Structure 1
Amino acid sequence: MVKVVIWSLFIIPWISLFFLNGKAIRRYMPVALFATVLNTILAQMAWSYNWWKFKETLFTWDKLAPLFTVYGVFLVGTIWIFYFTFRRFWIYIIVNLIIDLFYGMGLTKMLNKLEIRENGSFSPLQNLLAMTILALILYLYQIWQERIFEKEYVK
């Protein structure tokens, strides 16, 4: 049961990209990859400082930055969030807050109950603050990316 949940959290987001056009994927993949880098760093910090730990993952070697979250749900979720909200900053922030609250209050509790993940010293409020700061950084990054692409198309 646990492995089915973990694999589902990894595979279903990627399958969802079949419902998105290729232009949108190409447009938002750079910010999604940047989000992956930042989430990987955050996961490494969480491991070192005991903010949280994953007890079950897809493979034995991915406990530090679990593939199913960092390279599944978060990466693909970033593409979808930007697809629906980019250029509407307050909608972007509200959507991120709702999703981060769902993750921090709902999904993590489910993962803890299934003994996939365990809480450490990081509170849900600290998680929400970290994810909000990350969302702001990603938004600024995407604005920067858009300016680069505009300059490229003008040439």
Structure 2
Amino acid sequence: MVKVVSWSIFIIPWISLIFLDRSAIRRYMPVALFATVLNTILAQMAWSYNWWKFKETLLSWDKIAPLFTVYGIFLVGTIWIFYFTFRKFWIYIIVNLIIDLFYGMGLTKMLNKLEIRESGSFSPLNNLLTMTILAVILYFYQLWQEDIYDKEKVK
């Protein structure tokens, strides 16, 4: 059951991209990869400071930054969020808050109950604040990327 949940959290988001236009994937992949870098750094900090730990992962080497979250649902979720909300800052922030609340209050509790993850010293409020700050950083990064994207379209 644990592996099924983990693989589902990893694979289903990637499959969902077949419903998205290729140009949107190309446009928002840089911000998704930047989000992945930031989430990987955050996961390494979490491991070092005992904010949370993953007890079960897809592979033996992804205990610190689990493949199914960082490189699955977070990466692909970033593309979808930007696809629907970019250029509408307040909608983007509200959508991120809702998703981060769902993750912090719902998904993490399920992962803890399934003994995939265990909570440490990082509270749900700290998680929400951290993810909101990351969301703002990602938004400004995408604004910067848009200049590059627009210049490429002109060529």
Normalised to the residue count of structure 2, the TM-score between the two structures is 0.98
The number of residues matched between the two structures is 155
Question: What percentage of aligned pairs have identical amino acids?
Answer: 86
The structural deviation recorded for 1:76 is 0.1
| Counterpart check, 1:130 vs 2:130 | yes
One-letter code aligned to 1:37: V
Secondary structure, aligned partner of 1:118: strand
| Structure 2 match to 1:70 | 70
Query: Residues 27 and 149 of structure 2 are in contact (CA less than 8 Å); yes or no, is this contact kept in structure 1?
Result: no
Query: Residues 105 and 124 of structure 2 are in contact (CA less than 8 Å); yes or no, is this contact kept in structure 1?
Result: yes
| Counterpart check, 1:52 vs 2:40 | no
Root-mean-square deviation over aligned CA pairs:
0.7
One-letter code aligned to 1:107: L
The structural deviation recorded for 1:90 is 0.3
| Counterpart check, 1:14 vs 2:14 | yes
Structure 1 CA distance, aligned partners of 2:60 and 2:68?
13
Alignment of 1:1-155 (within 5 A): 1-155=1-155
Secondary structure, aligned partner of 1:58: coil
Normalised to the residue count of structure 1, the TM-score between the two structures is 0.98
The structural deviation recorded for 1:150 is 1.9
The structural deviation recorded for 1:30 is 0.3
Q: Which runs of 5+ in 2 are unaligned?
A: none
Structure 1 CA distance, aligned partners of 2:44 and 2:144?
26
The structural deviation recorded for 1:153 is 3.2
The structural deviation recorded for 1:152 is 3.1
Secondary structure, aligned partner of 2:53: strand
Off by >4 Å, runs of 4+ in structure 1: none
Q: Which runs of 5+ in 1 are unaligned?
A: none
